[in-house]
A = this chain, B = another copy of it.
Amino acid sequence: MSDLLLPAEPTQRGIARELYALAAEQPIISPHGHVDPGLIADDAPFPDPARLIIVPDHYVTRMLLSQGIPPAELGVPTRDGTPSEQDGRTIWRRFAEHWHLFRGTPSRLWLERTFETVFGVTERLSPATADAIYDEISARLATPEFRPRALFERFNIEVLATTESPLDDLARHARLADDGWGGPGGRVITTFRPDNVVDMEFEDWAGNVARLGEITGEDTGTYRGYLNALRARRLDFVAAGATSTDHGHLTARTLLLTPAEAEALYTRGLSGTATAEDAEAFRAHMLIEMARMSIEDGLVMQLHPGAFRNHNRWLYDRHGRDVGGDVPHAVEFVHGLKPLLDAHGNDPRLRLVLFTLDEDTFTRELAPLAGGYAALFLGAPWWFLDSPEVMRRFREAVTETAGFYNTAGFVDDTRAFCSIPVRHDVARRIDAGFLARLVAEHRLPLDEAAETIVDLAYRLPKKIFKIGEKL
């Protein structure tokens, strides 16, 4: 067993090894991520290593962009059809030439450990070894053992949640259910993510809302019909196995409007006359509506605020969304969430998991809120913060006020299916190291640390995200 990421100091390393061993044998609960459910439904072989590992990974392509290598040279598709690099091996070599850029980053950890533990590649990546590693991974990918379902088993994943919009037809999840992999209580479940019908500033919101009406048979030309459509669609998602919703918002602002006020905003949105303030107010209001619906239907609510989408305009113009052009900005929770918390913050039927991209809120806002409201839980450090150093700082920052049991366990939040076990492994190692320090400093007995690490790795995410529960 490797000592990767365990504390260097021998006493703590010894304790951390013991604790990590307990975590390592737990199945993976992945309650939030972006794997394509079609991947498991189809169970088709993966493409070449570059298309599997480099092209879709915006952590990788943005780092190379930051050093002047344009995404098109790495195969990232363009919006206007301008050709981008198509040869997998060329992309792979280009990547290998810049491997030093990833020193000290989680991308390096994820990739290197994936090479090793998933593909059995132990040579270090470099221009000299790039071709051999490419060939080695290619060869593995051609075998049945590297089909998605086989890897799913090998990865010891108990449940994997994907994320779909209300406009998704859930056909892939239906196929999974038919195969005994999906549906309520299944191994692959969906998550209800309504941003594209809640955020008036989303591309073609009005069109999206119209489609929502078609799908549900509700008249989304009215606010009442819109709410009914959302309610209905949430139940469809529950039927497809969902246990949670997810909300990606610019801020954590919430707002309690009267139905008439909300209706007026909605109407302005449909007529194309809503201002940016209207859109923000409507998003803020809809978070409370979503909380109300969660109280009704039991779906756990996740909030991911604080991403400034498409900040890199040049990149967006050329390559569109979700290619590494987002950045965090400062987020405020204490005033922002107050209207929602005033309404439902202590309601035991509500479960709201808060994520942040702004670690400055760990001790000042998140831990005090989660440590004082019955409905609130803290999600793991996310996205830019999904890294060993921040995971450690997260525990150091929030545990003293919120304890361990107001935190919801790790979420990998990834599109990269093959990296899932490594990502969970990193989180488990960091938690083991943190707990080991508490033990070594006589702040927690070893047996309680042992119970806690299993709670963090397995029991807490399962319980808080209602995995396996009937809603």
Contacts and interface: CB of A to CB of B under 8 A. Distances in A.
Interface of A: 2-12, 62-63, 65-68, 100-106, 108-109, 124, 308, 311-315, 324-325, 327-330, 332, 334-335, 338, 341-342, 345-346, 348, 357-360, 363-365, 367-374, 376, 384-385, 387-390, 395-397, 399-406, 437-438, 440-445, 448, 451-452
A402 B67 CA distance: 10
A369 to B, nearest CB: 6
Contact of A334 (B327, B371, B387): B327
Nearest to A357: B364
Given A369-B327, A372-B65, A372-B66, A444 B103 contact: yes
A84 to B, nearest CB: 16
7 contacts: A5-B443, A62-B372, A66-B406, A104-B404, A124-B445, A311-B341, A315-B346
Nearest to A104: B399
Contacts of A9: 8-9, 11
A373 B66 contact: yes
A312 to B, nearest CB: 6
State the 6 A-B residue pairs at the shortest beta-carbon distance, nearest first: A8-B440, A387-B400, A104-B399, A327-B368, A329-B334, A4-B442
A307 to B, nearest CB: 10
A98 B405 CA distance: 10
Contact of A66 (B370, B399, B437, B451): B370
B359 A62 contact: no
Given A66-B376, A311-B372, 14 more contacts: A4-B442, A6-B441, A7-B441, A8-B11, A103-B403, A104-B443, A108-B443, A312-B345, A313-B341, A313-B345, A315-B346, A329-B332, A363-B385, A388-B443
A374 B308 contact: no
Contacts of A342: 313-314
A65 B387 CA distance: 31
Given A396-B389, A403-B104, A330 B329 contact: no
Nearest to A312: B372
B448 A103 contact: yes
A104 B328 contact: no
Nearest to A332: B330
| Chain copies in complex | 3
A469 B317 CA distance: 33
A372 B325 contact: yes
A330 B404 contact: no
Which of A104, A312, A359 counts the most chain B CB atoms within 10 A? A104
Given A332-B330, A371-B66, A438-B104, A314 B404 contact: no
B345 A314 contact: yes
A67 B376 CA distance: 9
B374 A329 contact: no
Nearest to A455: B100
A364 B368 contact: no
B442 A2 contact: yes
Contacts of A385: 363
Contacts of A370: 66
Contacts of A365: 327-329
A341 B327 CA distance: 13
Contacts of A102: 403
A401 B448 CA distance: 34
Nearest to A308: B334
A328 B368 contact: yes
B63 A105 contact: no
A125 to B, nearest CB: 11
A105 B360 contact: no
Contacts of A338: 311
A357 to B, nearest CB: 7
Contacts of A67: 374, 405-406
A129 to B, nearest CB: 14
Nearest to A368: B327
Given A9-B8, A388-B400, A390-B400, A328 B324 contact: no
A220 B253 CA distance: 42
A376 B68 CA distance: 10
A8 B348 contact: no
A346 B65 contact: yes
